[in-house]
Amino acid sequence: MAGASGRATMLSGRHDVELASLAAMGERAAFSELARRHGGAVRALLRRLGADNALADDMAQDAFLIAYQQIADFRGEGAFAAWVRRIAARLYLKRRRRDARVDLTAETPEPQGGLSDAETGPIGRMDLDQALACLTPAERLCVSLCHGAGFSHAELAEALNAPLGTVKSHVKRGLDKLRVRLSDLAASDQEAGR
């Protein structure tokens, strides 16, 4: 038991790339450490894309299982977290396409399953979620996929089966709204702190 906790402590000091190499050699504890480090960010991204908590949890686990199967393909050229977030985003898009839920025409923000008040946590930490709630579903999806999962505009257009111009304008409008909303939130945080 002491050996296992010592091993976990040793792994917690390792860099992601080292852990990924160990995981590629079959060291499951190393992969578990990667899941511990980055699971939260992957789930947060899925919630920001529009998944509810249970779905975000399930899909994040699925994304890590796929990452484990493909860990030999991860060469450490980019961040491990970004690589898994991308896998998770692709899974989510696949799921939405299967459910025929990709609609880039809705103009009003929809209530978010994953962004209830109880989950917003300390002020400041969840500013992004509050700001994203002001975007239309299409804008939120496009901004989150571009800036949260690292999709290029062209990849996004292909993944959403939408014209490149439409995707670009959703990202642009979303970013403009986020910039305004985030500065408003920062200003109100500052006032509250006085």
Partner 1 sequence: MSNLDFEGQLERMFAQAAADDDDLAFARAVSRRLDRAWILRWALIGGLGLVGAGVAAVQLAESDIIERTLALSDQAFRLVMLSLPHDLPAWLAGDGAASGPQTVWVFVGVALIGLGGAAWRAVSDN
Binding stretches for partner 1 (CB under 8 A):
28, 31-33, 35-37, 39-41, 43-45, 47-48, 57, 60-61, 64-65, 68, 81-82, 85, 119, 121-122, 125-129, 143-144, 147-148, 175, 178-179
Whether 143 and 178 have beta carbons less than 8 Å apart is answered as yes
Of residues 105 and 120, the one with the C-beta less far from partner 1? 120
Q: What is the 3-state secondary structure (H, E, C) of 97-152?
A: HHCCCCCCCCCCCCCCCCCCHHHCCCCCCCHHHHHHCCCCHHHHHHHHHHHHCCCC
Provide the minimum distance between the beta carbon of 108 and partner 1 in the complex, in angstroms, as a whole number: 23
Of residues 125 and 194, the one with the C-beta less far from partner 1? 125
Provide the minimum distance between the beta carbon of 100 and partner 1 in the complex, in angstroms, as a whole number: 26
* Nearest in space to 161 (alpha carbons), one of 187, 191, 141: 141
Provide the minimum distance between the beta carbon of 114 and partner 1 in the complex, in angstroms, as a whole number: 9
Identity of residue 67 = A
* Nearest in space to 51 (alpha carbons), one of 139, 115, 132: 115
Provide the minimum distance between the beta carbon of 96 and partner 1 in the complex, in angstroms, as a whole number: 19
Provide the minimum distance between the beta carbon of 106 and partner 1 in the complex, in angstroms, as a whole number: 22
Of residues 72 and 161, the one with the C-beta less far from partner 1? 72
Provide the minimum distance between the beta carbon of 194 and partner 1 in the complex, in angstroms, as a whole number: 22
Whether 18 and 29 have beta carbons less than 8 Å apart is answered as no
Of residues 100 and 121, the one with the C-beta less far from partner 1? 121
Of residues 66 and 102, the one with the C-beta less far from partner 1? 66
Of residues 105 and 190, the one with the C-beta less far from partner 1? 190
